[in-house]
Structure 1
């Protein structure tokens, strides 16, 4: 298990469990001092597991108030999935940049494809957060 994923699981008090489930993954709340369970399909390829874990952590962080409406309200479900995907992409891009890759020079479409992400625009937006703002004569930073 990747150290970053382990740190996130620990931070949110989640226990990773592999089971032969139908979906890719989900969160199972527990009672008492037992960590909530992040269930991942044991039949997934190893390359898919980090994305599923990050996606489910995204749900865990952002879905507290909406979890009851998730199955019954399409708008809630779409927003929930979008937020979880954005969290996953943010963490994957953060890791990419931390490895020393230049966010300004990467082809975001190729990166999205390599990461297995279908929404290229979300990858482009997240990468743009790492662009260095050029100083111009009109900015305070340029003036001495």
Structure 2
């Protein structure tokens, strides 16, 4: 089990989220707040499954109590989707930056984005997260 896998398991356990797999889904994953369950599409690659699971865990972590807002307006849905994406990216980035052989000062944002098959539109998010990481590491 990789370090990220153990972190994901800890998040799942902390949030007490059930994980189910189903075929024939039109989306790779879905969080059902009413029963605190994440449903993942069967047959995803390991990397896709990890990204989708982390995204849905972002919904579980940040939106469990107010998920009814998701379908009220486009702007609320967009905001919640962005927060879930940022949760996924932060979890992946924290794991990556904690590796002993990583030089944060020479971090390549785009390489991280490409290696993790993330949308390039999140470059600014990754950049801000790394700057925040450096700031907090320097003040520790």
Q: Say yes or no: TM over 0.5.
A: yes
Moved more, 61-70 or 81-90: 61-70
Alpha-carbon RMSD across the aligned residues, in angstroms, is 2.0
Following TM superposition, where does structure 1 have runs of at least 4 consecutive aligned residues deviating by more than 4 angstroms? Answer: none
Q: Number of residues paired by the alignment?
A: 130
Q: Which residue number corresponds to residue 11 of structure 2?
A: 8
Question: Larger Rg: 1 or 2?
Answer: 1
Which stretches in structure 1 are left out of the alignment for 5+ residues? 31-35, 136-140
Which stretches in structure 2 are left out of the alignment for 5+ residues? none
Compare relative contact order (CA 8 Å, sep 6+) and give the higher one, 1 or 2.
2
- Structure in which a larger fraction of residues adopt helix: 2
Q: Structure 2 length as normaliser, TM-score?
A: 0.83
Give yes or no for contact 1:104–1:127 (8 Å, CA) kept in 2: no
Q: Structure 1 length as normaliser, TM-score?
A: 0.81
Give yes or no for contact 1:103–1:128 (8 Å, CA) kept in 2: no
Q: CA separation in 1, counterparts of 2:56 and 2:89?
A: 12
